[in-house]
Amino acid sequence: MGSDGESHAAHYKKIYVILLGLLAVSLIGPYFGEKFDMMWLTLITAFGIAFVKAWLVLKHFMHVDVERPFIHYALITGVGFMVLFFAGVSPDVMKHEGTNWENVGAKAEIARALAEAEAGGGHGAHGEAAAHGDDADAHDDAAEHKAPAH
């Protein structure tokens, strides 16, 4: 029993090290993704890795793999309903105009904020570039040449 438990603990520590490695990747990946303007690298390292981490936690820490199947179905249904929610709502919320309506306020807000960022002066409602130093400026560059792509 003791040795069995020991191996459990060792297993958890191994998973922990893997998780920390993945965390490092998810921090370094987007850094390079931004530096070299590789959107896909950011997406894969930030969000793809998040799913891998989530799966590791679910399987090894929450032991979801040894639960009865209906637990899996319940969890998947919960997530599935959220995907459904996103699919049903995003056509109305992501866009700012539709049949017989236009979200004038939102469009104006986007235009105002983008113009402000283009001018390089402000960050949203308040300009605090100095407080962030070089790092913030580097981000600004990235943001500026990404903005027209939208």
Partner 1 sequence: MAFQPIATTRTVMGMPTARLAIWWLVVSEIVIFGGILATYLMHRLGHPEWANYAVHTNVYAGGFNTFVLLTSSVFAVLAHDAASQGDGKKAAKLLSGTLVCAVMFLCIKGYEWSVEISHGYTITANGFWSFYYTAAGVHGLHVIIGGIIMAWIAKDAYQNKYLHRVELVGIYWHFVDLVWIFLFPLLYIAK
Partner 2 sequence: MSATAHDDHHHGPTFAEIWLLQSTDHKMIGKQYMFIGMFMGLIGAYFAYAFRMQLAFPGVNVPGFGTVSPLEYNALVTNHGTIMIFWVAMPVLIAAFGNFLIPLMIGCDDMVFPRLNRLSVQIFLASAIVLIASFFVHNGGFGGAWTAYPPLSAKAEYNLTPLGSTLWLLAVVLEFAAFLIGGINFITTAMNARAPGMKALDVPMVVWMICIASLLFMASVGPLVAGAVMLLFDQVLGTGFFDPDKGGGPVLWQHLFWFFGHPEVYVVLLPACGITAEIITVFSRKKLFAYKTILYTVIGTGVLSFFVWAHHQFISGIDPRMANVFTITTVLISIPIAEMMFLFIATLYGGSIRFTTPMLWALSFIAEFLIGGVTGIFLGSSGADIYFHDTYFVLAHFHYTFFPIAIIGTFAALTFWFPKMFGRMMNDTLGKIHFWGTIIPFNFIFIPLFYLGAAGQHRRIYNFNHYPQLATPDLQALRVLATVSLLVMLSFQAVFIYNMLYSMFRGKKAPNNPWNANTLEWSCPSPPPHGNFGDELPNCYRGPYEYSVPGRDEDFWPQNLPN
Rounded to whole angstroms, the Cα distance separating 111 from 18 reads 43
Q: Which helix (H) or strand (E) holds 69?
A: helix 69-93
CB of 128 to partner 2, least distance (A): 20
Q: Is 47 in the site for partner 1 (CB under 8 A)?
A: yes
User: How far apart are alpha carbons 128 and 117 in whole angstroms?
Assistant: 12
Q: Which is nearer to partner 2, 105 or 121 (CB)?
A: 105
CA angle (106 as vertex; 102, 107 as ends), nearest 5: 70
Chain residues binding partner 2 by CB under 8 A are 77-78, 81-82, 84-85, 88-89, 91-93, 95, 98-101, 103-106, 108-110
Eight-state DSSP code of residue 36: T
The strand ranges marked E within the chain are 97-98, 101-102
User: Helices marked H in 36-68 — which ranges?
Assistant: 39-43, 49-56
Q: Closer CB to partner 1, residue 99 or residue 112?
A: 112
Q: For residue 119, state whether it binds partner 1 (rule: CB under 8 A).
A: no
Nearer to partner 1, 90 or 104 (CB): 90
Q: Residue 42 contacts by C-beta under 8 Å, 6 or more apart in sequence?
A: 29, 30, 33, 34
Cβ 117 to partner 1 shortest distance, Å: 4
Binding residues (CB under 8 A) for partner 1: these are: 1-2, 5, 8-9, 12-13, 15-16, 19-20, 23, 26-27, 30, 34, 42, 46-47, 50, 53-54, 57-58, 60-62, 67-68, 70-71, 74-75, 77-79, 81-82, 85-86, 89-90, 93-96, 106, 109-110, 113-114, 117, 123-126, 128, 131-132, 136, 139-140, 142-143, 146-147, 150
